[in-house]
Each structure stands twice: as structure tokens, then as C-alpha cells.
Amino acid sequence: MPSTIDLVRSMERIVVAGAGLGGLRSVEALRRRGYTGRVTVIGAERHLPYDRPPLSKAVLSGKVDDTTLEADWDEPDVELLLGRRVIGLRDGVVETDAGSLDLDGLVIATGASPVRLTGGPYRVLRTIDDALALRAVLRPGLRLAIVGAGWIGAEAATAAAAAGCAVTVVEAAPAPLATAVGPEVGARTVRWYRESGIDLRLNVGVEAIEPGGLTLSDGDPLPADEVLVAVGVRPEVGWLAGSGLALDDGVVVDEKLAARPGVVAVGDCAAWWSPRFGCRLRVEHWDTALNSPETAAATLLGADDAYDPVPYFWSEQHGRMLQYAGYHSVGEELIWRGDPDGDQWTACWLREGVLVGILTVDRPRDLLQGRRLIGAGGPVDRDRLADPSIPVRDAAR
């Protein structure tokens, strides 16, 4: 087997497909790992890599205009190709809409794109241009219809209501965040919409989007000056069709983030095997884009690292800070800490007596300690975990 030094020397060019946080972090990780060859970064947008989480929070609310990430793009042998799309992959070559590039290694960091509906006009919220364009139309009295009460829908509704808009959120599920945290926990956020002056309509879909608003699945019209569709994203992997890579809700990779020798994937588009949770995960959050490139770079350069994190995410909505860690979908038991109808509470999911997921509302210490418990993987005492006066860490057996 070739040594890491041999692999580093044999790779004349590594291509990073995607110029977001995951792409930037991949370049940085490759350099930290000793790779001195050429790195070419391809980005579909014309912007330098920027942070996405603030788009539906600080940018939409007008607190910041620019979330560009700090980076030294003048470094020798780093080539940044913006405004280009990757359109195909074959052995040793990546195809773009402006020609092909030879490569010795590939980092797939193309992220995800919003799910789109038929009809229109409507907006989505994924890029800095999307956020600035939506912010520009928010004004007191504007009738804004938001399709989807997930993380983005909730955050956008919060910002729009604060700007004085008349906001209606339409959700096909029985509760907000039903997909993200389950309907039982998501139902605890319903009253937040009412308190924020937002009209929330559950268990109703959208029949049509037309100029002037929506037609709902129950036949009712919903007049709107603007419509935002926020019904989730899909991994941006269509360009890999025919490449020979396994695709299943993302690029299928192992616990080292390898799709095949010389090809790794990071961030939103990577579907990796998690020994911790015993299933394949694809996590669409900032923490994954931030940290997965370190393992991917190590794998590309011949190291034997593994990636098995405790996923983490946060959201600011309706004047509250929500933080989530773990993977609740494998849980079989829900335990509440505090009154879920109160202002501060925590939801904990257990599998065979082991903490596997935690969601906190304005209880950051619970999140920090709970994430560590999930990482440790040991059993917990249910009664102590349910007592909000006892630190989460003290529930470990």
C-alpha cells in the first residue's frame, strides 16, 4: 500500500467540486495534511464561499449584509473557478459547463438545492442572493405566504413578522418541524406562531401557486403578495449520474467519507455510514460542512481516520434558541425535561436506555452535556434525566 507521502506526491491536482463552507474547509484541511499540489475549487455561484446559516436569520432580519468566509485565495496553486457548474464525472476527469478538468483526487462538496414546486411565481431561500432579494421586499403589511414549517420556514416567518409582514405559514404535516423532530415535539412550537402574530395552517397542502397567491388543498384561496417555498432540499448529485458512484439520497460513502479510491464527499451531499447510530446519515447542517472535510482530506491522502460525529444544529425562531444534537429517528422513547408548554424545556430520545437525541429550547447547558452523553454512548437514569434540576451529565449511570 502506498504511503501517505507517496499519495501526496502522486496527486498533481485535487478538484473540489463546490465552493461553500465544505469546499473551503476541504482546501484548508488538505493543506494542513501536507498536500502542496494544485487545488482547483469549482463553484456554481459567483460569490466567494460564504456562510449559509445567517441567511434566514441575520441577513433576512437586516443585521448583516455579507457572510463571506475569511480565506487566502492568493495562495499559490489554489485556483478558484466561480460561476461554473460541474456537469459530469468520468475516470480522472470532471466535466464543467466551461470544459473539462483532469484530476488525481476529487472532493464532492456540491451541497443541496431547494425542492421546487410547480407553478409560480415564488421564492426560495438558499443563497445570499435569495436572502437579499427576499429581504428587499419585506415591509409592513406585505402578505407573505410561506409553504413549509420546517427550520427555514420558521426562521423566515420570524424575520418577516418582525418586519411587519402579514405572514401565513402552510404546512402539510400535523405540526411544525414534524420531519425534523417528530410531530409530538414539533407540536410544542405551535403556540409560538400565534404569539408572533403568524397565521399557521396545519394539515393542509398546496394545490397551486399562481400570481396573487396560493390555492390550498382544501380548495381555499390564500391571497399573497409574495410566496416563499421552504419544503426542504435535495442533495445536488444529479451531475454524478453515470459516474459509477453509488447514489442514494446523496453520495454513498463509508465511515471514512470515501465513495471510491480518490473520491470523497463532504457536507450536505454526503450519505455516510454511522457505526454510532447503526444507519446511513445525511445531515444538512453547518456543523457537518465544517467538520467532515478534515476526515475527507485525511482519507484522500491515505490516512485511516473515521467520521462518526454526534450531529449538531441550532435555530433561532420566535425569540427562542433551539439546539439539537444526535439522531432522534433511531430513538424509541421520548423523555421531557421541564414543562414543554413552558418557556424553557428539553426533549430527550432514548434507544435501549441510551441517549441518542436531544433538543433544547433556551437550555444551552442541557445541549452541551447531552451531546457529550450521546458521544459517550452509555446508559442513563431516566428519572434523573427527566428532572430539570439535575444536570444532564449527572443522569449518566
Range 85-95 average pLDDT: 96
Does the domain made of 319-395 have the CATH classification 1.10.8.80? Answer: no
Same fold, 116-229 and 319-395: no
Question: What Cα–Cα distance (Å) separates residue 99 from each residue in 79, 96, 186?
Answer: 15, 5, 47
Half-sphere exposure of 213 (CA within 13 A, CB side): 17
Please tell me the pTM assigned to this model: 0.95
pLDDT tens-place string over residues 164-191: 999 999 999 999 999 999 999 999 999 9
Angle at 99 between CA 95 and CA 103, to 5 degrees: 50
Domains of the chain by residue range: 4-113+233-300, 116-229, 319-395
Take residue 310 and report the three cell numbers written for it. Answer: 454526534
Range 209-237 average pLDDT: 97
Residue 79 has pLDDT above 70, yes or no: yes
pLDDT tens-place string over residues 251-275: 999 999 999 999 999 999 999 999 9
Least reliable range by pLDDT among 39-48, 71-80, 367-376: 71-80
Q: Are strands 263-265 and 105-108 parallel, antiparallel or unpaired?
A: parallel
Q: Measuring CA to CA, which residue among 323, 385, 315, 322 is closest to residue 350?
A: 385
Q: Please name the residue that has the C-alpha cell 415535539.
A: 185
In this structure, CATH architecture of domain 4-113+233-300:
3-Layer(bba) Sandwich (3.50)
Take residue 177 and report the three cell numbers written for it. Answer: 418541524
CA distance 309 to 377: 12
Neighbours of 382 (CB within 10 A): 14
Residue 10 has pLDDT above 90, yes or no: no
Superfamily holding 116-229: FAD/NAD(P)-binding domain (3.50.50.60)
Residue 4 has pLDDT above 80, yes or no: no
